[in-house]
Structure formats: structure tokens, C-alpha cells
Amino acid sequence: MKTTSLTILALVTMSGALPALAQQPAGKPEDTEVWTPVPKIVRPGTTNAAPPSDAIVLFDGRDLHEWVTASDTTKPAGWRVHNGVVTVNKTAGDIRTKRRFTNYQIHLEWQVPVGITGSGQARGNSGLYLGALPDGGYELQILDSYDNTTYVNGQVGAVYKQYIPLANAMRKPGQWQVYDVIWTAPVFRPDGSLESPAYLTALHNGVLVQNHVALKGGTKYIGTPEYKAHGPLPLLLQAHGDPSPPISFRNLWVREL
């Protein structure tokens, strides 16, 4: 257990996926892991959602012109577009949108490859950041949780280290997963204090996994989440440094609310 956590910490650090790690607070990642109760498994139906007429299409299978490299926004997004999908390039790092958003609905399809390897957090780890901040952001976890045990507030559908999903609706590797998320941004007073938290509702493969949960702040790998005032934020897709084969995405669109 300890060895695994240290290995993951080392891999995350190498990946640079969580810049906040540069200044680690006291404590251990395990301090904020929750392992029970394990969400029940629900088998989802099939889904095939084309963008609605008023959507902003962020990836339609052709190119990544809506995206840049998160660590250097002057660089184009370096992930591989092929056959209508885009596959994570872990070397290129996280990608984020050029556009910024406040309140919105987002649709995202993603696929863990057949032959995925690894376990726990090191198995198809990625993440949808509903807002990217310099020290992280608000992460809805992406992970292969089909037959893969980890801390339940870090499994698929979790608001990472904040909310356990209401169910595990994961399809097998090789099948397409669907996230539909409704995001209400936090509101800050002029002095920077929090007036209203962020709210998130999420469906995974058509199954409700988060029901209007109030976020406790930005995602923290170690320590307690906290809010720092911000305006509209870009969306971010995580290139996690775990050594498992990379996952792919398709059909990504947003409707501003």
C-alpha cells in the first residue's frame, strides 16, 4: 500500500500534472483517501449523442484548434488526432481550451483502451477539469474503474477527493464512456471571499453519479480543498503521468448557461 502510493506520487510528480506538488503541505495523500462505502455497480444503457444546435463544439474529430498546451499556452495542443478521436500524449502534458467558461453543460466521450494495464490510480487516469487554475482546478475523475479498486473518492465519477460517486456506471475497456456534466461556477465577493460555492451534477453513461454537490474548493491531491477567487476559466483534460496506455476522447461540446 505504502509502496504503491509512493510510486503514484513519484509518477504524478514526474508528470507535472499537479503543479501544486512543488510546495507540498504536511501530511500524506492517504490522509484524505476514503475506501468505503464502495459505490454500487450499475450497468449503463447505450448512448450516442450528437451535439445540439446551440453547442460550442470543442472537438469534432478533426483537429484541436480549440485547445492549447496547458503548461505553455503559446503551444498548440500536442495530443494525437486520428480516426475521429484524440488520444492523450503524456509527454505533451495537459491540454486546455482557449475559451473560458462560467456556467455550462458539457458532453464528453472517452475510451479506456483494450489492454489497459496497471491498477488503482495508475490505470487509465485522466481527468476533466471543470475549471483549470494555476495550482490545479476542479477535477471530475477519469479512470478505469470497471474492475479496479482504489479509494472511492478517487474512482471514476468522483469529484476528486471530495465526493464519492452515487454509482459506478463504468463500461468495459474498449467501449466508449460518456460524461454529461452541469457546472455552476463559484461566485466570489469583491474582496475575494466566497459568496456561493461551485455546484456540479454529473451523469456517467446516463447514470446520475453526482447530484448538485457543492464543491469544497479546488481539487487537492494532498490536504484540504480551498477556494481562491477567479473569473471564467478554461477547461482542461489531464495527461496523468501513470504508465498505463493512454485513453482517447471524442465528441466534446459545451452549452453555456
Residues that bind Mg ion (CB under 5 A): 125, 127
Q: Given its phi and psi angles, is residue 4 left (phi above 0), alpha (psi -120 to 50 degrees) or beta?
A: alpha
Instruction: Return d(Cα 128, Cα 177) in angstroms, integer.
Output: 13
Q: Nearest residue to Mg ion, using CB? A: 127
Taking the least distance from each CB to Mg ion, the nearer of 33 and 255 is 33
The minimum distance between CB 130 and Mg ion, in angstroms, equals 13
Taking the least distance from each CB to Mg ion, the nearer of 56 and 133 is 133
Taking the least distance from each CB to Mg ion, the nearer of 51 and 225 is 225
The minimum distance between CB 237 and Mg ion, in angstroms, equals 10
The minimum distance between CB 219 and Mg ion, in angstroms, equals 9
Taking the least distance from each CB to Mg ion, the nearer of 97 and 155 is 155
DSSP letters spanning the chain: -HHHHHHHHHHHHHHTS-GGGGGPPSS-GGGG----SPPPB--------PPPTT-EEEE-SS--TTEEETTEEEEEP-PEEETTEEE--TTT--EEESS-BSSEEEEEEEEPPTT----TTSSS-EEEEEEEETTEEEEEEE---SS----GGGSTT-BTTTB--S-B-PPPTTSEEEEEEEEE--EE-TTS-EEE--EEEEEETTEEEEEEEE--SS--SSS--------SB--EE-----SSPPPEEEEEEEEE-
The minimum distance between CB 160 and Mg ion, in angstroms, equals 6
Taking the least distance from each CB to Mg ion, the nearer of 35 and 49 is 35
Taking the least distance from each CB to Mg ion, the nearer of 69 and 145 is 145
The minimum distance between CB 89 and Mg ion, in angstroms, equals 16
The minimum distance between CB 11 and Mg ion, in angstroms, equals 12
The minimum distance between CB 125 and Mg ion, in angstroms, equals 5
> How far, rounded to the nearest angstrom, does the alpha carbon of residue 209 sit from its chain's CA centroid?
14
Instruction: Enumerate residues 6+ apart whose C-beta is below 8 A from 7.
Output: 122
Taking the least distance from each CB to Mg ion, the nearer of 34 and 257 is 34
